[in-house]
Structure 1
Amino acid sequence: SPTVGKELARNALYAVAIASIGIIIYVSIRFEYKMAIAAIASLLYDAFFIVTFFSITRLEVDVTFIAAVLTIIGYSINDTIVTFDRIREHMKKRKPKTFADLNHIVNLSLQQTFTRSINTVLTVVIVVVTLLIFGASSITNFSIALLVGLLTGVYSSLYIAAQIWLAWKGKELKKDSAQ
């Protein structure tokens, strides 16, 4: 019903907001706040993409949909953290002095985590496709949301979060070198 739908949407927004605050705190403490903001931007992209996909295809939004969105956020933040951890390791080894150095560090980190990210997502995608084919009809929307979210999640962790951080950190590096 429309009332239940509004309540589900409100609860989903609360869940995403609370999760985002927790992620910002954790990533800011463990890494830096710029990485936290970049990670949240990529997570919001994932959530927005899944919601848009369900709106366009007019699939039912229910409790399993919310569970799928939160699961995708978990997978995506994990992928993003692995990439940011690799970037941090390289930043400690090589102190970047120019934007080109910083760009090299990000590209090297992405190359090193790319195979791991793709293999992790492909493993889960195989299971999700199996659930779509052989699973009960009650979890079809969950499986569809998971499939779409996994694909956008790996994209956003590899290509959105790291690039947002690179652009932001690059501006800071240019400003520091100009002084």
Structure 2
Amino acid sequence: MKTTTWLGLLGCAALLTGCTAASNWEATMAERMPEYGHRNWLVVADSAYPKQSAPGIETIYTDAGQVEVLEKVLSAVDEAAHVQPVIMLDAELDSVTEAAAPGVTAYRKDLKKLFGNRPIKVMPHDEIIAKLDKGSKLFNVLLLKSDMVIPYTSVFIELDCGYWNAEKEAALRSAFGRE
């Protein structure tokens, strides 16, 4: 093989190995968003969140901060006209103290600022996990692990249809039943 070919291959390999985890998770999310629809899930998890074995759950370590990852995920969902987020937080997060988990107060403030007026469902962790497990049997889940080291900080986003809602569905079902 010619020297220039080897140098070209080495250059490509250096570029490929130089990719960070962040660029990989962002590229994966960008690839999945057009494919995902209602009933798919996006999870931004803390660092202790386990890698689940369900075939529908894809786990990627982001090597990034929780709030940074969450900002990018919410931005991607907001830009996708076909889906809207149903955001779920662990109820236990409200009871985690600053003494037990330094930084939790600032994290809660960051979440309030990030979520703004978005509706948030607060549920016990086990209930959210049960919903996620049930959903992953039929629908894909992209789980993005952050470097967060505060318990009960994972943010669960079940995607819903962005251009259809419960009221429109009820009207359709009502009209459908009259036909």
Shared topology, TM-score over 0.5? no
Normalised-by-shorter TM-score class: under 0.3
Choose between structure 1 and 2: higher helix proportion: 1
Greater length-normalized contact order (CA 8 Å, ≥ 6 residues apart): 2
Choose between structure 1 and 2: higher strand proportion: 2
**What TM-score does the superposition give when structure 1 sets the normalisation length?**
0.28
